[in-house]
Structure 1
Amino acid sequence: MIRSRRFWEQRTLHPVARLLLIAAVVVLVGVAVGFIVASGEFTRLDLLAIAFYAGLAAFAWRPSTAAYIVMLISSIGVVFTGSGGDLLELAIALSLVTATCVAWVIIAHVVLLGALSAYVATSSSTLTQGGIYAIAGIAVIAFLAGLAFRLVAARETILLAERERVEQDLEAIAREEQERIADELHDGIAHDLTLILFHARALPKQPDDAARQLSLTTIEDSAEQALQSIQSLLSLMRDTATEGPESHPTRYDGNVVEAISSLGALLNDAGIPTRVTAPRTPLSVTPAAERVLTETAIEAVTNIMKHAPRSQSASIDILEHGDAMELVVTNLAPSSTTPSDSPASGRGLKRARQRLAQNHGELESVQMSDGWTLRATVPAPVDETH
């Protein structure tokens, strides 16, 4: 820590240390004023003493400026009065300089103290024999005291930074948990609730008993699936397994081809004629990419039923392009549909775009004059056998 450049940056005094310093300066000024009143005269030594104390007080706000003032006044006092007291004060002030100032100011203070000590030692002074060693000892003690204050301040800074980092990590964990819950709500419940709403609205308009029975069955199945999804969500929030049967967050746990076939049948049952095409051979994509294609198809179909329930037709296609796999979902909307009803918009597709990006894929939504088209593309794995 001591070897780092950041350790020797300028620092401010701790608020408590600042108050103690101001209190000490007030006491020193009071003593100086008492001596002035007792002697009945105001000398240049008194002026230098009060100026020196003002320099000490400046360490509470402007450490570098205070260090210059202290060094200047002490130099004047030593050179023009030959007072060993000024030298002693300069040695004591080294503690404040070490605690607050940058490295080169500390070095300048030490060099000045050494030069003035040598000057006093080689000239007539009021220092007693061996007094120069006492000044050196006091300077060492002051330096160590200032270094100790700097270490405490640096450690406090590190602890505060660590606490801030921990708070940021906890906030990130909380946001991630919120996103997980939002994903569970959207993926596990919104789709089923959309089906329930769609068929509940269509139920009074069904032309025969068979169509009404289909809507009732769909509502029942979707409600049961939504209940299981809620149980899964509660398990996620409590971070423990819920009692009862195991829940399944989605009914499309198979591959993407099976999923789009089920989704096509769902749209057909909802009265939207839908064409589904997919390769007969297994898809050459990773399980993660296939899962995100399935999620994108679910989102697109849900949006069609939610935002364009009167669509004239729809299509869901899986296309292979050699180095990529493409999911294309298209719906033909009636001319009365407004752009705000676009099934190619919403937060769900934004999340799908993010998930595709994590798998190096892309999502494109295009609004046309007679409908909307969504294209989700993921790269096929590179064949490393060649």
Structure 2
Amino acid sequence: MTGGVQEQRRTLVRPVPGGWPLRGALIGLGLAFMISDVVTDTVDLSAPSGWFSLVIPYLPLLVLPVGIIVGAVTTLVVFVVTMSAPPDSLMLSAAVAPMLIAIGFAAYGLPRRAALAFGGAFFALLLASALLAPGRLPVFIGLTVTGSLAASAGLAADLFRTRSEVATARVARLREEQAQVRVEERARLALELHDVVAHDVTVIAMQARRAEMLRDPDKSAAILESIGDSASSALQDLRRLVALLSSDAAQEPSALPGGRSAPGAGASDIGEPGAGEPGAGEPGAGEPGGEATAAEHVTAQLRSIAADLERAGFPVELDIEGDLDLVPVSVWQVLSRTMRELGTNVLKYADPAAIVGVRLVVGEAHLELAVENSVADPGSGGQAPSTRAGIAAMRARCEVFGGRVSAGVVGAQNASARAPRSTGHGVRWRTSMTIPLPGRATVEASGAAGAPPEQAREESERA
């Protein structure tokens, strides 16, 4: 934006500053000079030449309000006319002040090249006049000095105005950037609040609903205990998020002690390793401190998802394939939050009487996390309301790593992102996340070049 201001200054003519008040002042000044000449009998108005001598010297002031270009051209014409007048004429001395004012405005308002051309033409005329009329040399020297001072004053005013415009443009650009930052912060905060609150509240709502339908006191007590744990976890995560925002932390922690991945990834949340299991919260439990630890965390979290769903009454088939050690640590949090989101969606939409398939596959060049379930009957009250923010959040995180998220009916020609509630009871619904593994490609390329695969993998992770 600042470059655009400077580029415009090189190509555009400024209007006369001050608006109509200054333009009126210029015309008034010219008229005042003319009235002064009439009152002091400097000119003889009995002859046409007298009127000519009265008007011509002050034409630059009278035409400047029309435009700076018109004023600059008029100044050159007036200078030539006054230099052609007889030596005893007072036209030149009367025209000095108006010409100097016009020179200052020309230096201020004309584009750079036009201002240089005007200045060169004016001083060339001065030099030619000095050569043709040596007797007026002191006048020409005085005009040269005062003209240079007038041009310097105009250039200084132009420089000040340009810097002011650049500063104004910079302030406007900074305001736009700040507004964009605020928008992005709101979006990030909305995503964090969704991760912190939505999952825990969904777990509480669905478990409370299922507890109403149970007649077994032991199972009901277990569900109520889980509801209390989820509520405590949600409160703890909200406090952590408030503390994070209050401290104006620039980066979100990728992992916290006890296997907590970030605000909203509490140990008692659905899918968190150790939720309701022995060893939860022990130092290092599920803490992604390296490749092996990240792989162990992914496995433990998937098993925890399956265990939570089974406790909620869903039959689960868990399938893990491939070498999880190849999953980069940077992908771990995306995988962790996506697991929780998919597990929560099962609680919200799935039919508890049908098998839920949870599958994680680490392939040759990508990993895929997929959950397949049957859709519950919307009329049974088994589906919870949805804002559809979960799929959008998963897509946003996945796209950072060049991956994609798809959701739709199993066997359909085109994947659909509609809410499962609209597909009908008993339909199999599949949600999957696919992320490329550039580290795996690096390992294979290095191995083809003769490096041992384990060594190549270590070098890739260090890079």
Question: Do the two structures share a fold, i.e. TM-score over 0.5?
Answer: yes
User: Distance in 2 between the 1:315 and 1:70 partners?
Assistant: 89
Partner of 1:30: 32
Task: Tell me the SS of whatever aligns to 1:163.
Answer: helix
Task: Tell me the SS of whatever aligns to 1:360.
Answer: coil
Alignment of 1:136 with 2:178, yes or no, is: no
User: Distance in 2 between the 1:128 and 1:376 partners?
Assistant: 90
Partner of 1:260: 302
User: Distance in 1 between the 2:203 and 2:378 partners?
Assistant: 23
Deviation at 1:138, TM superposition (A): 1.0
* One-letter amino acid of the counterpart of residue 317, structure 2: R
Deviation at 1:231, TM superposition (A): 0.5
* One-letter amino acid of the counterpart of residue 362, structure 1: R
User: Distance in 2 between the 1:377 and 1:329 partners?
Assistant: 12
User: Distance in 1 between the 2:358 and 2:223 partners?
Assistant: 22
Partner of 1:198: 206
User: Distance in 2 between the 1:311 and 1:144 partners?
Assistant: 88
User: Distance in 2 between the 1:268 and 1:14 partners?
Assistant: 80
Deviation at 1:110, TM superposition (A): 1.6
* Residues 1:163 and 1:14: Cα distance change in structure 2 (over 3 Å): farther
* Equivalent in 103, 106, 112 of residue 97 of structure 1: 106
- Larger deviation, residues 226-235 vs 84-93: 84-93
* Residues 1:15 and 1:136: Cα distance change in structure 2 (over 3 Å): closer
Partner of 2:68: 63
Deviation at 1:355, TM superposition (A): 1.4
Task: Tell me the SS of whatever aligns to 1:271.
Answer: coil
* Residues 1:348 and 1:45: Cα distance change in structure 2 (over 3 Å): farther
> Residues 163-215 of structure 1: CA distance to partner in whole angstroms, max 9, x if unpaired?
23332343344334333422321112210011111122222211311221232
| Residues 312, 334 of structure 1: 8 Å contact kept | no
Alignment of 1:214 with 2:217, yes or no, is: no
Partner of 1:377: 434
TM-score normalised by length of structure 1: 0.82
* One-letter amino acid of the counterpart of residue 161, structure 1: A
Task: Tell me the SS of whatever aligns to 1:112.
Answer: helix
User: Distance in 2 between the 1:154 and 1:148 partners?
Assistant: 10
* Residues 1:194 and 1:151: Cα distance change in structure 2 (over 3 Å): same
Partner of 1:289: 331
Deviation at 1:152, TM superposition (A): 0.8
User: Distance in 1 between the 2:157 and 2:390 partners?
Assistant: 55
Task: Tell me the SS of whatever aligns to 2:321.
Answer: coil
User: Distance in 1 between the 2:303 and 2:84 partners?
Assistant: 98
* Equivalent in 182, 188, 195 of residue 190 of structure 2: 182
Task: Tell me the SS of whatever aligns to 1:43.
Answer: helix
Task: Tell me the SS of whatever aligns to 1:278.
Answer: strand
* Residues 1:314 and 1:145: Cα distance change in structure 2 (over 3 Å): same
Long gaps (5+) in structure 2: 250-256, 274-285, 287-296, 411-422, 452-463
> Residues 200-259 of structure 1: CA distance to partner in whole angstroms, max 9, x if unpaired?
222221131122123202211110100101101210221179xxxx99531337322222
Deviation at 1:311, TM superposition (A): 7.3
* Residues 1:137 and 1:240: Cα distance change in structure 2 (over 3 Å): closer
* Residues 1:67 and 1:274: Cα distance change in structure 2 (over 3 Å): farther
Task: Tell me the SS of whatever aligns to 2:433.
Answer: strand
User: Distance in 2 between the 1:292 and 1:65 partners?
Assistant: 67
* One-letter amino acid of the counterpart of residue 231, structure 1: R
- Larger deviation, residues 288-297 vs 309-318: 309-318
Partner of 2:365: 323
* One-letter amino acid of the counterpart of residue 10, structure 1: L
User: Distance in 1 between the 2:384 and 2:327 partners?
Assistant: 29
| Residues 64, 70 of structure 2: 8 Å contact kept | no
Deviation at 1:28, TM superposition (A): 2.8
* Equivalent in 273, 276, 287 of residue 318 of structure 2: 276
* Equivalent in 156, 161, 173 of residue 165 of structure 1: 173
* Residues 1:74 and 1:228: Cα distance change in structure 2 (over 3 Å): same
* One-letter amino acid of the counterpart of residue 27, structure 1: L
Alignment of 1:229 with 2:205, yes or no, is: no
User: Distance in 2 between the 1:165 and 1:274 partners?
Assistant: 54
User: Distance in 2 between the 1:193 and 1:72 partners?
Assistant: 84
TM-score normalised by length of structure 2: 0.70
* Residues 1:150 and 1:265: Cα distance change in structure 2 (over 3 Å): same
* Residues 1:71 and 1:335: Cα distance change in structure 2 (over 3 Å): farther
* One-letter amino acid of the counterpart of residue 109, structure 2: T
Q: 1:5-16, aligned counterparts within 5 Å?
A: 8-10=10-12, 12=14
* One-letter amino acid of the counterpart of residue 375, structure 1: S
Task: Tell me the SS of whatever aligns to 1:272.
Answer: coil
User: Distance in 1 between the 2:114 and 2:308 partners?
Assistant: 79
* Equivalent in 294, 298, 301 of residue 340 of structure 2: 298
User: Distance in 2 between the 1:108 and 1:201 partners?
Assistant: 85
| Residues 204, 227 of structure 2: 8 Å contact kept | yes
Partner of 1:113: 122
Partner of 1:312: 354
Deviation at 1:331, TM superposition (A): 1.7
Long gaps (5+) in structure 1: none
| Residues 26, 61 of structure 2: 8 Å contact kept | no
